[in-house]
Chain A
Amino acid sequence: MSELLAELSCVARQSDSVLVEAAINGDADSFAELCKRYYPAMVAVAHSALSDRHLAEDAAQQAFAKAAVSLPQLRKKARFAQWLAAICRNAANDIIQSRKPVRYREQSSAAAAERDDDTIDCVRQALGKLSASAREVIFLRFYDGLSYEQMSAVLGISEQAINGRLRRAKRRLANYLRGEGFGRARP
């Protein structure tokens, strides 16, 4: 049992490149570790596009399935997260195209339905007005509190660029919400 735990912790400490190489050679544990490592980020990426948590989880799992098959085609193993995010965006787009067009708002969460007051509705509308890349960076930052370094790996841009993108996105959100009367009397 202790040997198994030691082996698992050893796999968890490996870099993406090492895990990808092992997964290419058919190591299921390495692939599972990659999935665990990037699942929250992929769900965040898909959620920013789909506006639905459950569909976002489906898209992320679908992305892992596609990655499992086409992993040998990945040339730069260090860019696994970026490559996976691209697959995840495509999976989310496929889901969007396969269903009726919807406005950007949370759909199925019972918890969200309970909280669905004016404020939340207004913030979701504001999020919907952002560009896809700006919305993505907001979701990644707020989802699991991902570090700039992790976000950089997923988005394939520098930490400075992420900082700039996040600031601009939040400024746009703040401007919109202030126009709706938020941020003054209701901090």
Chain B
Amino acid sequence: MSEQENEKWLDELIRRSIETSKPVFDVEQWKQKYPDEFKTLVQRSSRASSRQLKILAAVFRHPAAKVAAAAVIIVAVGLLIVRPGPDKQVSAPTAARSPAEMITAISLTMAYRRGGMEAVERQLDRTLDRLGPKPMSLSLSQLLQNSNG
């Protein structure tokens, strides 16, 4: 006899011999039958939320945690004080607004390296001559180009 034929008559016999109807779980009946176990199960939900609070409380009970929290607050306040406000804008590099500003430290340093104090004086005279009465119209690059020769 083949295994498939075996399966048919055997499966039929097994089904007839054991009560195989699907059992259905009745939750309410189970709760009534095992009230203590159900209570233990449900109580865990309140325990879980209170556990998180206990952890926080335990952390802040420690002196080191208090010091750390105070340090964090001080650093945060310090940062707020030092940080520039949103209305304070960093000025963009523009051409100098006055002849005095035009003589930059860079151009003067370069002139000094080329010919000492005499070269610095010459640089100053030349710059003032070239700028004339309209310093705002001169760009920074033009100024530097003129100053550096």
**Residues on A facing B (Cβ under 8 Å):** 23-28, 31-32, 35-36, 39-40, 43, 47, 53, 57, 60-61, 64-66, 68-69, 71-72, 106, 109, 111-112, 115, 119-120, 123-124, 127, 138-139, 142-144, 167, 170-171, 173-174, 177, 182-183, 186-187
Instruction: Known contacts A24-B44, A26-B47; decide if A127 and B10 are in contact (CB<8 Å).
Output: no
**Residues on B facing A (Cβ under 8 Å):** 1, 3, 5-11, 13-20, 22-25, 27, 30, 33-34, 37-38, 40-48
Name the B residues within 8 Å of A68 (CB-CB).
Answer: 34, 37-38, 40-41
Name the A residues within 8 Å of B48 (CB-CB).
Answer: 25-26
Instruction: Known contacts A173-B14, A183-B1; decide if A144 and B44 are in contact (CB<8 Å).
Output: no
Chain A, residue nearest B7 (CB): A170
- The complex places the Cα of A32 from the Cα of B59 at a distance, in Å, of 36
Pairs A–B under 8 Å by Cβ, sample size 15? A25-B44, A25-B45, A27-B45, A36-B27, A40-B23, A106-B17, A119-B16, A123-B14, A142-B14, A142-B18, A142-B20, A143-B18, A183-B6, A183-B9, A187-B9
Task: Decide if the interface of chain B is mainly helix, strand, loop or mixed.
Answer: helix
Residue among A111, A139, A182 making CB contact with B13, cutoff 8 Å:
A182
Residue among B10, B13, B33, B41 making CB contact with A28, cutoff 8 Å:
B41
With both chains docked as a complex, state the minimum distance between the C-beta of A78 and any C-beta of chain B, in angstroms. Answer: 20
CB of A187 within 8 A of CB of B17, answer no
CB of A144 within 8 A of CB of B45, answer no
- The complex places the Cα of A24 from the Cα of B42 at a distance, in Å, of 9
Instruction: Known contacts A64-B30, A123-B17, A142-B14; decide if A182 and B45 are in contact (CB<8 Å).
Output: no
- The complex places the Cα of A68 from the Cα of B42 at a distance, in Å, of 9
**CB-CB nearest 4 A-B residue pairs:** A26-B45, A26-B44, A39-B25, A123-B17
CB of B34 within 8 A of CB of A61, answer yes
CB of B24 within 8 A of CB of A39, answer yes
- The complex places the Cα of A115 from the Cα of B16 at a distance, in Å, of 8
